[in-house]
Structure 1
Amino acid sequence: MLENREGQKVPNVVFRARKDGEWVDVSTDQLFKGKTVIVFSLPGAFTPTCSSTHLPGYNEYAKVFKANGVDDILCVSVNDTFVMNAWAESQEADNITLIPDGNGEFTDGMGMLVDKNDLGFGKRSWRYSMLVKDGTIEKMFIEPEKPGDPFEVSDAQTMLEYINAEARHPKRVTLFTKPGCPYCAKAKDMLESHDMDYEEISLNGNGVSTRTLLAVSGASTTPQVFIDGMLVGGSDDLEAYFQKQTAQVG
């Protein structure tokens, strides 16, 4: 039975990490003392749910968390620092600090070290998340103990609901662009001025062509902007979208 450790201190551990080609020691005091910190822990870097949903979700929600009093967001996994650094680079998770619990000391101290021998993983972390204030665990969300790799309660949305149920969730923005396109630059400026993060997909990069753009948007010109899965359109359409949003608020 995995223990909920709300009200307890986090384990006192020193993590061995690599930064700028040098070994560095990172203590739990450095990570937690005097701070409000979200921690989410998962079975392994580069694994499907961890890479497609768990880590990207917290990265996407980072600005909202910080607007609601969170100082840092940590991702802990029983992987060595080289693996965690490579994963961070591949995920472009700039808003998350990845912590290599290579020896499993922190995870064991949390009572979350479990056998994943059936997958050939050895000892790994059970999936969970927690809110930690000045080193004391205020809230834990532990995935249910059932076969497989359940992912039901340790996600970013659940954590945000706990911290502030009234907080506005970030919008998901995808922007199709073309190199040298001035209207694309205008659209990006508008999104940035409204503090909206976006995924940029450049035509003729990674196999994305004008035909691809036509298939998903019905248009072949750039930019084409999607917000929460809905097509907004080009830069003029995006400007009209923001004007409408401003009018509704007013």
Structure 2
Amino acid sequence: MTIQIGDHIPEVTLQRIREGVETLDTNALFDGRNIVLFAVPGAFTPTCSEKHLPGFVQHFDEFRSQGVEVACMSVNDPFVMQAWGQSQHVPEGLMMLADGNGDFARALGLELDASAYGMGRRARRFSLYAEDGVVKLLNVEAPGEFRVSSAEHMLSQLKQDL
């Protein structure tokens, strides 16, 4: 079942690289924080690299000025996420999270079967805003689209809600 507004973020582990590979529990990551999480089907893929991540990089300071942290997630390993972040000049503080086995995407009910394209199971393109681990805003893209999960759309929603 797909996560809904008002639901608590499911407990799963993710990874990222800082001083080495770090395992993060989603409860520890989301509890007590205001976070925008956006997910992409794959690091280094065209829409993800040309539009989705760059929008959040461009507007990162606007999110931070509203007291909102930003995290990018993909079903890739933490080394790929680190390299992608470096290639995209991701600012320090924008978390690049790896959902290597797709456990988090599956727990959210936002898994995508991209096997027909040789990409296996991935995360659907989406964005969400959570306060203290509870989903307050959720934007899930229709297949092949990029509109509602953009940084600009999320900022406009936050300006209405905050």
1:79 matched to which residue of 2? 76
**Cα drift, residue 65 of structure 1:** 1.4
- Aligned partners of 2:78, 2:103: CA distance in 1, in Å? 14
Aligned-residue sequence identity (percent) comes to 36
Residue 93 of structure 1 corresponds to 90
Question: In the alignment, what sits opposite 2:8?
Answer: 9
Equivalent residue in structure 2 for 1:154, among 121, 124, 149: 149
Q: State how far apart, in whole Å, the 1-side matches of 2:17 and 2:55 are.
A: 25
Q: Please state if 1:125 is matched with 2:123.
A: yes
In 2: Cα distance, 1:150 partner to 1:131 partner: 20
- 8 A contact 1:128–1:142 mirrored in 2: yes
Query: Cα deviations across residues 179-234 of structure 1 (Å, max 9, x unaligned)?
Result: xxxxxxxxxxxxxxxxxxxxxxxxxxxxxxxxxxxxxxxxxxxxxxxxxxxxxxxx
CA shift for structure 1 position 33 = 1.2
In structure 2, the gaps of 5 or more residues are: none
Summarize deviations over 1:112-158 as a string: whole Å, max 9, x none. 111101210000011000000000000101112x4xx2111100111
Contact 2:49 2:88 in 1 (8 A): yes
Q: RCO higher in 1 or 2 (8 Å CA, sep ≥ 6)?
A: 2
1:4 deviates by 5.0
1:65 — aligned with what? 63
CA RMSD of aligned residues (A): 1.7
Q: Aligned pair 1:163/2:158, yes or no?
A: yes
Please, which runs of 5 or more residues in structure 1 have no aligned partner?
A: 168-250
Q: Which residue identity does 1:101 align to in structure 2?
A: D
- After superposing on structure 2, the runs of 4+ consecutive aligned residues of structure 1 that deviate more than 6 Å are none
Distance 1:140 1:37 in 2: 12
Q: Larger C-alpha radius of gyration, 1 or 2? A: 1
Per the alignment, do residues 60 and 14 of structure 1 end up closer, same or farther by CA in structure 2, a change over 3 Å counting?
Answer: same
By how many angstroms is 1:15 displaced? 1.8
CA 1:29–1:4 in 2, change beyond 3 Å: closer, same or farther?
A: closer
State the alpha-carbon separation in 2 of the partners of residues 123 and 14 from structure 1. Answer: 17
Shift of 1:75: 0.4
Question: Aligned partners of 2:21, 2:126: CA distance in 1, in Å?
Answer: 28
Measured against aligned partners, the alpha-carbon deviations of 1:37-65 in whole angstroms (never above 9, x if no partner) come to 00000100000111111001011111111
Paired residue type of 2:7: Q
Give the TM-score taking structure 2 as reference length. 0.92
